Structure 1
Amino acid sequence: MKSLTPDTIAAPFGHYSHGISAGPIAVTSGQLALRPDGSIPEGVEAQADYCFDALRAILAEDGLNFSDVLKVSAYVTRREDMKGYMAARDRACADLKVKPASTLMIVSGFTRPEFLVEIEAIALRSPSS
């Protein structure tokens, strides 16, 4: 196994990795929209776009890309944020021949009230990767 913690995104909040590569599988921790400078994008759609960018950075550290993603799981804090999240997810998946499986849940909150969405992914290295 190897840790996937790119320096292009904010460091993890604690003693964990942003992602783990284990042979053909890569699993990410849930990503929140915290920029390296400590700022947080406004609105769920902008936050989700940032989370997807962070997921891409984590996967790239293992030589993977978003087309290798098997499943995306996302969590939003408000029912009205589902539409914004889904717009960002649809953009992230627009060019993919095979869309990943997807789960979306409404949760009561995150570590800071400014965070509106958290997204994680599971990817599988194809034999040609």
Structure 2
Amino acid sequence: MVRAVTPSTIRPPFARYSHAVEVPVGHRLVLTSGQLGIAQNDTIPPDVEGQTRLCFENIGAILKEAGMWFQDIVRINAYVTGREHMAGYMKVRDEFTANPPPASTLMIVGGFTREEFVVEVEVIAAKAD
């Protein structure tokens, strides 16, 4: 069982995430590449919520292939192209994350390989053998 680490001596998280997550010995790790909001047929939703949903659906397919699921995510790194995309990203992220919430970082970046992309998400998942 992973353990959320949120010391009472520092400010609580700004949103639904843990400051840190401790993974005990004996867990397998899966580290994904950044997933973009693009469907298998190359369609890209025009909005951040649609793209974020596809990012997490792609992550779900990767985790399933590795014998894991969303509750096994211990860390998320996400990138959006503007502050206006933060709320939509966080809304969808929260639908896919379990308790305790994973450690998480959200960064604003200048862009991605294609102008249509507004979000990219990568995760680390851990599960006991």
TM-score, length-normalised on structure 2? 0.77
Once residues 85 and 99 of structure 2 are traced to their aligned partners in structure 1, the CA distance between those partners, rounded to angstroms, is 26
Q: 1:48 and 2:47 equivalent?
A: no
CA distance in 2, matches of 1:37, 1:123: 27
- The residue identity in structure 2 corresponding to 1:112 is R
Describe the SS at the equivalent of 1:29. Answer: coil
**1:28-47 residue pairs with structure 2 within 5 A?**
28-47=32-51
- Provide the rounded CA distance (Å) in 1 between the counterparts of 2:85 and 2:100: 25
Aligned residues: 103
Structure 1 equivalent of residue 123 of structure 2: 121
In 2, distance between residues paired with 1:46 and 1:39?
A: 11
Q: Report the TM-score when normalising by structure 1.
A: 0.77
Stretches of 4+ moved more than 6 A in 1? Answer: none
Q: Does 1:109 align with 2:111?
A: yes
- Higher gyration radius (CA): 2
CA contact (8 A) 1:68 1:126 kept: no
Instruction: Quote the offset at 1:126 in angstroms.
Output: 2.1
Map 1:1-129 to 2 at 5 A: 24-93=28-97, 96-127=98-129
SS at match of 2:114: coil
Distance 2:36 2:111 in 1: 12
- Structure 1 segments unaligned to the other structure (5+ residues): 1-22
- Structure 2: which 5+ runs fail to align? 1-26
Give distance in 2, aligned partners of 1:65 and 1:78.
29
Partner of 2:4 in structure 1?
A: none
Separation in 2, partners of 1:53, 1:34: 10
Supply the RMSD in Å over aligned alpha carbons. 1.1
